[in-house]
Structures are given as C-alpha cells and as structure tokens.
Chain A
C-alpha cells in the first residue's frame, strides 16, 4: 500500500497544477501600470475634434477609461453593459476611440447608444501604446489622484462590474 502513496501524491500535485493552469487566461497579462499615474494624453473629442481633453481635466473624480473601436467585435458584446452602467450614473465613462475612423465611430454610437461622457480619438494608437493596450476592449479604473487602480482586459461583463469594478469605484469615491 505504501508504495502507491508516492506516485499518488505526485499525481495529485500534478492535477492541482493543471487545474489551476486551466483557470488562468494566458491572454490576460498583468499590467505594470496598476497603481501608477495614468499616462498623459491630450486628444481631440470625437464629437468635436476642435476641443481637446487631457487626463488632467479629470483629476478629482473617479472615472472609467474604456478603450473601444467600431471595428472591435467584443466591444459590441460589451456595449449594452456600458450603456446600462451609464444610465445608473454611478461613475463617468470616458471612451478612448482606438485606431478608428471618426465617421465609423460616430455611426456606431448612433446605432448602439452612447454611454460615454466624452469619447476621445486616438487615431494612430499612440496613447494606446502608452496605456499598454493590446486587446480592445480594455477598461481602466482611475482614481481621484489620476492613478490607475484596475485594468480589465477584454469585455466588461455584468459579473466583473458587480464583483470588481463597482465595489472598487465605491471605495475610491469614499
């Protein structure tokens, strides 16, 4: 009996490792920007390109930065969740329209609704690089001091919203 214990032990350890490995998503790379100041930008507004918005304009409030594009399929999946959230007036959502055509982006918002307080245009993706964007949609929670506190890679789901984003927002709004 004793001679089976060691292989069994090894097997169980292996099983645990594999079980944990199955639950990890290799596409989710921890961002080094968490707890760092949000990178600076000054970008034109989607609705009025004459006006520019900078991250400094948003100091003093907790806000979400949602990276989206009209060409992004998962953004469509996420969109109703954001529209619903914007109606609850809990936290302002700012959109970073990433590598998109202005008219496509405006048409997209016209068709599916606009949850964004303001959307800004990152046409060449430069600000996206500064924020470490690699898979749209991505969503950042930024606090009153302009520090990134959370990053969601991939669509925001109602589960993520209720379990992570909203509790964090409430805490930060404190």
Chain B
C-alpha cells in the first residue's frame, strides 16, 4: 500500500513539469506552432523593446502572436507575414535589420572601425620600429667596446 502511494507520488511528480507547461494560444497544430515560434523569435516587441514577441507577455505581443498564427493558418508564407508587420511597425520590428542605405553604418560600421584601428596600429608600429632601430656601432666604437670587455676579463 505504501509502495503504491509512493509510486503514485513519484508519477505525479514526474508529470508536474508537463502539466505546468504554459498554455499555448491556438497551438493545436505542432507545425503551425513551430513556424509561429520561429517567426516570433525574429520579431521585436515594440512595447518592451528588448524582448522578442516570443518572450514578451505584453498585450500587443499576445495580439501579434494570435495574428501570426491566424496568418500561418491562412496559408501566408513567412516572408508575407514579416512584410505585413514591417509595413505596420517598420524595420524596427526585425531583430535583424535589413541591409540598406539607412543601415549601412550599422552593418559596416564595426568593420570600418576595425580596419581603421588596424591601419592606425600598423602606422604606429612602423614609426616605432624606425625610432627603435639599433643604431649600429661604428668601427671605432666596436674596437673600444672590445677593449673594455677584454680589460674587464683581465681584471677578473
């Protein structure tokens, strides 16, 4: 009897996470759900701007989740749905902004900075090498150095 109770407890315990899973809106079809979630992860929630629509619990995000699912069911392609949202909220809804005239600085900026930094570093190193280059000893200096060394050895 005790054993059965224990087993039942274990069973319920194992089941708990599965039961605790969040209710998914209209997620009756796993394929739709999968596509919807993949899309939502690329889209920004405009209310809480550093969250994706997938993460956000904001009212607007919930409405957009519903909208995305309905459009998927209506047979729209991913691009069409993204276009639909961009037409209303602008490129800002995209977590990955498109490459165009207004975003050149955004995309190319870091690389331009890197190249600029490398050029500055290169010029600096070359100048430094010029300054630090061993001057080389003249014949007289060499002779004197050898004499000094020889004198030191004699003393030792």
Contact B64 A31 (CB under 8 A): no
Partner-B contacts on A (CB < 8 A): 26-27, 29-33, 99, 124-125, 128-135
| B89–A32 touching, CB < 8 Å | yes
Asked if B63 contacts A29 (CB within 8 A), the reply is no
Q: How large is the interface on B (under 10, 10 to 19, 20 to 34, 35 or more residues)?
A: 10 to 19
Q: Is B86 positioned at the interface, with any CB of A under 8 Å from its CB? A: yes
Chain B residue numbers with a CB within 8 Å of A135 are 46-47
A-B contacts besides A32-B91, A134-B46, A134-B89, 15 pairs, CB < 8 Å: A29-B89, A30-B90, A30-B92, A31-B89, A32-B86, A32-B90, A33-B88, A125-B59, A125-B63, A128-B63, A129-B63, A129-B67, A129-B88, A132-B90, A134-B60
Minimum C-beta distance from B5 to chain A (A): 49
Are the C-beta atoms of A129 and B64 separated by less than 8 Å? Answer: yes
By a CB distance below 8 angstroms, the chain B residues around A31 are 89-90
The interface bits of chain B over 91-118 (1 if a CB of A lies within 8 angstroms of the residue's CB, else 0) are 1100000000000000000000000000
- Name the prevailing secondary structure of the A interface residues: loop
User: In the complex the two chains form, what is the Cα distance from A130 to B84 in whole Å?
Assistant: 9
- Which of B47, B63, B91 has the most chain A CB atoms inside 10 A of its CB? B63
A-B contact pairs, 20 of them (CB 8 A): A26-B49, A27-B49, A29-B46, A29-B89, A29-B90, A29-B92, A30-B90, A30-B92, A32-B86, A32-B90, A124-B63, A129-B64, A129-B67, A130-B88, A131-B88, A132-B89, A132-B90, A134-B47, A134-B89, A135-B46
